[in-house]
Structure 1
Amino acid sequence: MSIDWDRRHCARKGHITYAPDEAALRGKLHAATAVGTVWRCLRCGDFVLGEPHGSGPADQAPLVPRGQALRDLLILRFLAVERVLRGLLIVLAAWAVWRFSNSQDAVHRLFEDDLTVFKPVADHFNYDLDHSPVVDSIQKVFDYKKSTLQLAAGGLLIYALVEIIEGFGLWWAKRWAEYLTVVATAAFLPIEVYELTEKISWFKIGTLALNVLAVLYILLGKRLFGLRGGHAAFEAQRRGASLLEVEVSAGQVPEAEAEQRAKEPLPVRRRSPADADTV
């Protein structure tokens, strides 16, 4: 069973109606019923009881995400949530590195003391702590200069801010955020590939696959950098998806077909207070 995302979105966010100044279009988007005037929702196409939310020239009608555009928006918001959560985790990592840089000597002494305590236990299980890869990696961190660790913390913080900014921009479907996401994500792909050559894990594979798909989807789907006609083609596609533009084209159909459509019963829905909300 297919899901009607347009009606589902209207059920949660409310309908969006518009009264164009052009008389021919205005007549197609509204009708009089026994219970009052109804206007056609620009997203789902249902007729809604009540006054329109806006009015003006047809070319200034709100661009309401519907159909493929609405599905694209849901995907962008999924990526936005993922970016914000990742950014917050990186902020915590930056804070941990900064705190460690300020108490490096104390942590080093604590580590050496605890290592001495656990040494008899490790010997009992025939585990050589003196040549453990994990212990060696931790001890190397203690050799880093404080300035190096603080620089790393600063780099992590900048990276986290970029991820969070990406997330908020993608949530609101800003084109600059799409460019930023493609450039920033593509820049880190070689590092992720290199990490896989060092050690393979399902988490790393999943992260790399998600980032590659995100870059390809945004790059091609949003026609960035002039691909597939660029920004002009993308805007034309958005305009073509608007129900108001569909009604403009419908004026060119044969008169008999237009009359037949006018005779069809109109579904009427009473407008609730939530209908004033937009996307």
Structure 2
Amino acid sequence: MIETTALGPSLGVQVTGIDNLDDETVIARCLEALKWRGVLLIRGLDLDDDAQVRFSRKLGPVLAPAGKEVFVVSLDPAKSRSAEYLKGTFHWHIDDTTNDVPAKATMLTARHVAMVGGGTEFASTYAAWENLSESERKRYEGLRVVHSFEAAQRLVQPNPTDEQLAGWRRLPTHESSLVWTRKDGRQSLVIGATADHIVGMRPDESRELLDELLAWSTQERFAYTHEWQVGDVVIWDNTGMLHRALPYDPSSERTMHRTTIAGDEAWS
């Protein structure tokens, strides 16, 4: 029998009692929990890559960047060619902010965990928006924000080489509403490490506003910290959940396998 337990006051649900990932009722319950709670945890599911891809496809089309549906998350360059870039994931972010259409959801399976640190924090920008005062909402509505890969990487390398800078700037920037209103009426904040600046605002004023919103959105009442155990599967709503990895030793064996479910609604 499927049971659900809230992980925090504003987000997160743990699902237990799953014994058949092909059961359409199970999939429907998972999708519903993911939509309204943002983060879905299934302890000890222990999926291999094939099973993870099959489960992911039940939730929606699976993206395959560079022809691979499973992406290895590791700071070990021998395991992941993106190890250097992944250092940016220690900062609060939302994936795909520089794409026209963001991924709908992300699934991680823990293959190895760090002895110390290495948890993942999540924060709900749905809840953050809903708890703003009416006057604060009016202040942010109508603003537009430019997202860039460079903004996120500068948090890791504040003094980049010319070569690094040129590489970052080869990737396109993207402008979107600061407050995203979906077709179903739900609203969230499009912020995080990639948020470079507010359109038409002085740089210092823009930075202050973005930092203020990030601090508001990531306060404890809107957040959940997941401490990984081997075999855990966590799925989150990529469009409304900020997330970040907590620090751990780069020589750690910590390894996650990631699949990404394609989105179907463009940033507004």
TM range (shorter): under 0.3
More strand by share: 2
Q: Which has the higher contact order (CA 8 A, sep 6+)?
A: 2
More helix by share: 1
Structure number with larger C-alpha Rg: 1
Using structure 1 for the length normalisation, give the TM-score: 0.19
